[in-house]
Structure 1
Amino acid sequence: MTLSPFPPDLTGPWIMRQTWADLTFVHWAVDPERVAPMMPAGTRPDVRDGVTYVGLIPFVMQRAGFGRGPAVPWLGDFLETNVRLYSVDDEGRHGVVFRSLEANRLAVSLGARLAFATPYTWARMSLHREGDVLDYRTRRRWPSPRGAGGRITVRRGPVIAEPDDLSVFISARFGLHTRHLGRTWWVPNTHAPWGLRQGELLGLDDDLVAAAGLPGLAHEAPASVLVADPVHTKFGLPRLVADRG
């Protein structure tokens, strides 16, 4: 099934909103059986041409806030790097499953773990921009494995006028699946279609992917490197996913 770059309507109230900027997608193709045990109950790996993907995604979170209220001062702006998988449930809802999310705000990491059971970690992080080159660095502080992290250096290239199916598959994910309170939930979100650019990977030194349970993968050549223009996104209310059993 080919996904659409255009989001579905988000019904009901918003629970969060935020802007994602200076975002890079680095992806590797893997056998779905390799990541199937990592999926929340009621979901399975989302597959394209017989494979699924593992993403390493650094970016800047900006103006994060709750509902229609104002952005949270200071805490609403931080750096993040996540390792994620691609999921689908029996109702056909496509999403992401986060294996880890590094952030340089301890309060954000603790709050997200307590409120939503998302595997946020606290890290020392930086982003240096020089022209079209983005240089991301991260080193985990808490929890273990302490020191996990690395460096990603990428050059932002020309705009992709018509993204191919793979670019849409890994970027147009309007929801996430997560396990919380003994149940699986799907959290929808919406944003304008991504403005994607070609990305040239100038350097990669990473052990976050290995720390997320996928050793050796980051030493392989990625299947896709993209850089994205900023988008503003909104999250809707979580919805239960029926567990298969």
Structure 2
Amino acid sequence: MVVMEFSVDLNKALVFQVGHLGKAYQEWVHQPIISKESPRFFQNNILEFLTRTVWWAVPTIWLPVVCWFVLTSFRMDQSLPAIALQMLGGIFLWTFIEYCLHRFLFHIKTESYWANTAHYLLHGCHHKHPMDGLRLVFPPAAAAILCFPFFGLAKLLTTSAAAAFALFGGGLLGYVMYDCIHYYLHHGNPSNNQAKYLKRYHMNHHFRIQKLGFGITSSLWDVIFGTLPPAPKASQKSN
């Protein structure tokens, strides 16, 4: 156990405090505070506003964009079966990207002031405050910036512009599904077995074994890459 020489004041803006934890940051950030309240991140009101996103903003903003990419592909004389297949490929590709981002970027080990600060903004805050409903989905402005490299990836993986539009549209749809499912797993009460499994699986990642179980919409890549956590004992199961 790393001894904390710096103590975070939870009653003050958090972002520029957490970096001072140094090596103790990783232990601190993985001790969750179970509250639906949104802590203050920045003293500046504009920066604070930009960190808060209601879940329904994701489908409201991005589903029309998905439709535009798909329609553009269709107007380039792509057949509907080809578009459907490419969109399914985009959704499948997103599940792999989701897994890789979560495992290798969101759970990167940090110690320095700025690395801790960046990690907290990117993902650490979600582990420290897992029930904060306003910081569960990705802010649209940040997602818009990331669209550019991901569209570039779609162009690299396809042989035509029309196919790239359909593949990217599918990937973007996969992202929308991911963010909505992620929110539901934290705040919903699933009734069917598959949704119940996903909720247990994700809560297990937050509260039991945070070094395993990186999938959100699926456990497929955890199975393939050997990061599937062991099933909890009956006495440990919840919801």
What TM-score bracket applies, with the shorter chain setting the length?
under 0.3
Q: Which one has a larger percent strand, Structure 1 or Structure 2?
A: 1
Q: What TM-score, normalized by structure 1, do the two folds share?
A: 0.23
Q: Which one has a larger percent helix, Structure 1 or Structure 2?
A: 2
